[in-house]
Structure 1
Amino acid sequence: LIMWMGELITERGVGNGMSLLIFTSIAARFPQSIIAIGQAQSPEVAILVVAIGVVVVGAVVYVEQSQRRIPVEYAKRMVGRRTYGGNNTYIPIKVNMAGVVPVIFASSLLYLPALIAQFNQPANGQVPPGWVTWIQNYLTTGDHPLYMLLYFLLIVGFTYFYVAITFNPEEVADNMKKYGGFIPGIRAGRPTAEYLDYVLTRVTLPGSIYLGLIALVPLVAFVLIGANSNFPFGGASILIIVGVGLETVKQIDSQLQQRHYEGLLR
């Protein structure tokens, strides 16, 4: 039923229907989570959480919109009596090219030890093995520094892994060379691929650190204020909310511009 509704929204609405349904599901839990924090702690803590959430959302929007633009020039070429090329463009390399995928990968991988330990729980009140107790103490609740460190390192590693799969500098360099494009000051071919790989590696580092810090926000909140794991402002939920929101705004803006209206944010 949900898949069918998502397809209907995609066909008759704006943007991806499943993404909008996930967006709505996450956003609907925000008021309940804030009220639960206010009841468990105090109204002042809830107001502080909302203020921190506004700052986190602003930072996420800023980083998600950030990109490194590599200038590309195309040489002029004659085809018959017509001249093609000669224009300037750029290759946009986003700071966060991986999106929310590394966070999902890291959390799924860290869940495996707890799952294995759960299957090896002894029956009849017997003492569990030492490795099962160690996993329960350090890799289950998420409030231990070792768990946070492993979570952060896995996110950084999966970010580089995912970016390496989705963006191929050699393929981009070959396509540029095929159509007469080049980066000013860089020779076409292999030097261009090496330059793109160098820039991509440097840009991905702050992006991976940013993803790790955003993912740690709910865990740190759980330690500091005793919030549950459904802390609204952080982790995969805030990345999905901001990503879908920005994409929906772009879709609406493009629809308005196609109909000769001004942009949505003007």
Structure 2
Amino acid sequence: EQGSIGKYKINFITRLLTLIIAFGQGLASIIRSQLFDVAQQKILVLQVVFFLVVGSFICIWLSDLITNKGIGNGVSIFIVISISENLSKSFKSLLSNDAFFSTSQKILVLLSFLILLILTIILCSSYLKIPISYATYKQNDTIQNHIPLKINTSGILPIILANTFLNIFPTIGAFLSNDNYFKKFIIQLQESQYYYLGLGFFVYLLLILLFSFFSVFIMLDPYDIANHLSKQDAY
């Protein structure tokens, strides 16, 4: 509603939150890695955190540059690059692991991944056409008679938000002692999310569902659509 001024305020708040989160996660990553003695090497730790934060802002600058040049969504491209890197490592581990997977099992896993990829592309590119009727319609008018709604309106945003939310707990746990009860709970939560079906997995699934509903209502406001249609004498 505030135009360019409102956009500037949102960007400023976003960058400020990015600075705080990047500093916290960078410091937590250093503590978890146990590569430095934080108590004895405070200056060195701060220098490493500084470069991590600078690297984060360089990525933000590059993503904005990609978006502004019309190449694509910069953030999405960086996410795809990150996923592709992890995917190549997973394929390499699968193909080199002859102790647990036979050749037929490897082929089955690769075919399952290919089928899942095709189904995901179909789902993300599918639209549902909602018919529109106009009160004042003329035969020669070229008016769109439907609303194209994406079936997967929220995309991968709920997964990103759920991962970001769950990553807060390991960041907090890095500043706690190993005997702390909350840190032990965080470790169990992480293990049950990635290694077996436990509390962490179901919390992750619940967060994805909640963020899906939340992001759909943000991207697709039914009241805004209704007002827009009423101005065109449509229903």
Q: Structure 2-normalised TM-score? A: 0.61
Residue correspondence of structure 1 range 154-169 to structure 2 within 5 A: 154-169=207-222
Q: Number of aligned pairs?
A: 172
Mind listing any 5+ residue stretches in structure 2 that lack a counterpart? 1-57
What amino acid maps onto 1:52 in structure 2? S
Shift of 1:16: 4.0
Aligned counterparts of 1:115 and 1:89: Cα–Cα separation in 2: 50
What amino acid maps onto 2:203 in structure 1? L
- 1:178 maps to 231
- 2:96 maps to 39
Query: 1:141/1:38 Cα in 2 relative to 1: closer, same or farther (>3 Å)?
Result: farther
SS in 2 for 1:181: coil
* Percentage of identical aligned residues: 24
Deviations 1:136-164 (A, max 9, x none): 22335622421111110110011001111
What amino acid maps onto 1:177 in structure 2? S
What amino acid maps onto 1:7 in structure 2? L
Query: 1:14/1:95 Cα in 2 relative to 1: closer, same or farther (>3 Å)?
Result: same
Q: 2:184 aligns with which of 133, 136, 147?
A: 133
Shift of 1:170: 1.1
- 2:44 maps to none
- 2:202 maps to 149
Q: 2:114 aligns with which of 29, 54, 59?
A: 54
Shift of 1:85: 5.1
Query: 1:49/1:15 Cα in 2 relative to 1: closer, same or farther (>3 Å)?
Result: same
Q: Is the 8 A contact 1:98 1:162 kept in 2?
A: yes
Q: Structure 1-normalised TM-score? A: 0.54
Aligned counterparts of 1:29 and 1:10: Cα–Cα separation in 2: 27
Deviations 1:126-185 (A, max 9, x none): xx1333323222335622421111110110011001111221111111111111111xxx
Q: Is the 8 A contact 1:7 1:18 kept in 2?
A: no
**Larger RCO (alpha carbons 8 Å, 6+ apart):** 1
Q: Is the 8 A contact 2:127 2:148 kept in 1?
A: yes
What amino acid maps onto 2:166 in structure 1? L
RMSD between aligned residues: 3.1
Shift of 1:107: 1.3
What amino acid maps onto 2:234 in structure 1? G
Query: 1:109/1:55 Cα in 2 relative to 1: closer, same or farther (>3 Å)?
Result: same
Q: Is the 8 A contact 1:74 1:86 kept in 2?
A: no
Aligned counterparts of 2:169 and 2:67: Cα–Cα separation in 1: 39
Q: Is the 8 A contact 1:74 1:88 kept in 2?
A: no
Deviations 1:23-65 (A, max 9, x none): 3554355444312222234462432321111011011012112
Deviations 1:44-92 (A, max 9, x none): 24323211110110110121122221101223379xxxx9857452112
SS in 2 for 1:73: coil
